A and B are shown apart, each in its own frame.
Chain A
């Protein structure tokens, strides 16, 4: 059995869907193949227990680029955005930090430190200024200054000019900032350990970096982009869970004429004489395609799908050199009542935003120390949210769902394996939460634990790396995912990449998919 399509997209996660929707809007015939029974990948909603639904992996939709929401009419396609509330930083001392959403973050910071309030505003404004100056390279496809001639050179000049406009003082400061460690950036500016830990966690989220890793400062920029209101923002959830965002993109794609096939796992990309011609599905079905775009990570694409017959050994060496570290385990809980954190005031507002366990840079660094040696840290950095507080559609009345990112986890355990450790990890994480929100353990009615190994299996992520390719300085811009291959093309003709592993990289912005579509639409 053989079917023919014009453009086949492998993977119906956020980026695959965005690429599909944009290309369909240009009038091309697009078919998206998704292995699971629903779209969204890491940006989807799953059942946690009967009547309880919650995020599969990413919990909020803060960072989605506004142009995508607008271009794809996501609101008309069913997306409803809900603003979350306060920030809790629970400390082992029992005190911690609580910032509510009723007044601005900076006002509340001023109540414990004038220095930190000033520093917070300055850092936020600084990130916004560099972010805007770098906008042409951080939100657009990169041009090749050599092959794109004038227009390529012009783009770089625009960035150079924007950087120069930062001024004699700030331009060197911006260049100094990017390769720094987030610890140095924060130590130079802030005095409150709690606040430093809270800001650092935003920079390190999901990455294989510790506060003292050079280049982690770039994470501040990547995860606090100016379009999402930077550091000074509240969390944004999608009503119905993050899957609602993917569903809205899928609806936009369909209405532009794309078709989406779920339960359609691609097992092979067929390459003949250096040209890709089609796909094979797990069912054995053969699909002919004029052009194939893989939203999967580059290692999976080239190591498992294409075969290496038509790839240069040097290119494959570069593929193998890509560093993809899973560093996150996910715990989803169904709770029969709302938890009460000791460091936050009573009431649902206090738990309607972000919750962090990990109260100092040293805490985070030590957690990462264990992960470096393939061990599970005793005290991991936890980042959690309870989306059902603001979104009652996710759980029965009075009951709640909680999702916890246990960061600073190793992709592979040096001793033992993840399957054996998984439930113990769940126990430990619930135990830690229970210390900060007494009674939480007793309120758990369902629990799901997904280790980096599970994320690899479930979403097809190499090593469970949610960004496909580590967000590290040597794997960004012209080097993402492979030095020189930053243009969504591959050595195989008519095969392209559009997932989080390509420029500008993941974190739920949808920009990798959008940029890929922009490039491919011109071909």
Chain B
């Protein structure tokens, strides 16, 4: 079983291709998207995605807008922002909007993987908690 299901979003194709291979090699089940719109579509289709690695600067729907939409439609999905220096402010703004963390390009692979693990862990924790609450609710009704 993979450590986590990841969606990698960036408009730079070679970056996405290589990064996907590297994440897969580290037991992260990774799918990719090349724009904000595509990312949303993928999330719609694939409900198993736990963590989104999102580039901030993209033509069309940029990272911040995509983040807003993701958090609206899939509040439990964790998002890690990926950014160049010029948009650190934007990344911080992303944090305020509910992103899990942000990393600057080029980033260290081990660091990225550990962030993904943390993000996935948090997601599962929250899910478990919600599941527990629901279970208690059902159990309470039966008694």
User: A and B from one assembly?
Assistant: no
Task: Identify the A interface with B (CB < 8 A).
Answer: none
